Amino acid sequence: MVLEVVKYGHPALRRKGERIEKLTPEIQQLIADMFETMYAAKGVGLAAQQVGRALQLTVLDVRGATDRPSTLEIAGKEANVEALMPIALINPEITPVGNPIAGPEGCLSFPEIFADIVRPDMTEVRALNQKFESVEFRCGGLLSRAVQHEIDHLNGILFIDRMKRADKEELKPELDALQAETKEALKKAKG
Ligand code: ZN
């Protein structure tokens, strides 16, 4: 089922996710729905907060972004990115490593808003996958950027928090309008 993606201004986006202790049928269904939602929205990643759930859970699939390559290393050896995809990361722990590099980012909770964000170019990841198996890898390129962006979501951090001040200032009218629209819709929904 395609879920509603909540937009900037929704309180769920600022909540730190709780750890998932067990792969229940409910969590399995949530993961399936999050993949479906991400593909419907043509995104490369989606965090639980973006569907209104404060959990340590994100889904990723970078295979569609052929113009922005990714790299992958497992146990120190080069590995096939496509073979790892699609992947859910549960209770992820990451260490961003390498040189800070600017790259374009968008977010499904911020439609039509894009900016360059500076992040370390590599990420070391430890997590559980959608089968609740341990996974450990090191990634670069788009996958590294997407992992860092999504794991920020799991901690209530948004890409606007990492924008250059001048970019955020320039986008302020759009950001304010989006936030107001979301809050208005929430008020209406409550009656
Ligand atoms: Zn996002």
With 90 as the cut, is the pLDDT of residue 75 above it? yes
Reading the block at residue 106, the tokens are: 């968008």
Residue 31 Cα to ligand 1 middle (Å): 17
Do 89 and 150 meet the contact criterion of CB atoms below 8 Å apart?
yes
Return all residues near 125 (Cβ < 8 A) that are at least 6 apart: 89, 92, 93, 94, 135, 136, 137, 138, 139, 147
Residue 108 Cα to ligand 1 middle (Å): 6
3-state secondary structure of 148: helix
Residue type, 125: V
- Omega into 86 within 30° of 0, i.e. cis? yes
Residue 115 Cα to ligand 1 middle (Å): 12
Among residues 4, 18, 112, 150, the one annotated as catalytic is 150
pLDDT digits 0-9 by tens, 25-35: 999 999 999 99
Q: Is the dihedral of CA 65, 66, 68, 71 positive or negative?
A: positive
For 11-190, which CATH class?
alpha beta
Do 152 and 176 meet the contact criterion of CB atoms below 8 Å apart?
no
pLDDT of residue 164: 97
H/E element, 140: strand 134-140
What percent of the chain lies above the pLDDT cut of 90?
Answer: 96
pLDDT digits 0-9 by tens, 150-177: 999 999 999 999 999 999 999 999 999 9
pLDDT of residue 95: 97
pLDDT digits 0-9 by tens, 84-93: 999 999 999 9
Mean pLDDT along residues 71-97: 97
Do 7 and 181 meet the contact criterion of CB atoms below 8 Å apart?
yes
Q: What are phi and psi of 57, to 5 degrees?
A: -150, 130
Residue 3 Cα to ligand 1 middle (Å): 15
Residue 6 Cα to ligand 1 middle (Å): 10
What letter does residue 44 receive in the DSSP assignment? S
Beta-carbon neighbours within 5 Å of ion ligand 1: 107
With 90 as the cut, is the pLDDT of residue 190 above it? no
Residue 9 Cα to ligand 1 middle (Å): 13
Q: CA-to-CA distance for 58 and 90, rounded, in angstroms?
A: 7
pLDDT digits 0-9 by tens, 121-156: 999 999 999 999 999 999 999 999 999 999 999 999
Known catalytic residue at 82? no
Closest CA relative to residue 167, chosen from 99, 84, 106: 106
Q: CA-to-CA distance for 107 and 39, rounded, in angstroms?
A: 14
Residue 188 Cα to ligand 1 middle (Å): 25
pLDDT of residue 182: 97
Average pLDDT of the chain is: 97
**Would you mind telling me the total number of residues written for the chain in this entry?**
191
- The answer to pTM > 0.85 is yes
Mean pLDDT along residues 11-24: 98
Return all residues near 134 (Cβ < 8 A) that are at least 6 apart: 126, 127, 128
Mean pLDDT along residues 75-95: 97
Residue 134 bridge partners (DSSP): 128
pLDDT of residue 191: 78
With 90 as the cut, is the pLDDT of residue 66 above it? no
Extents of the domains making up the chain: 11-190
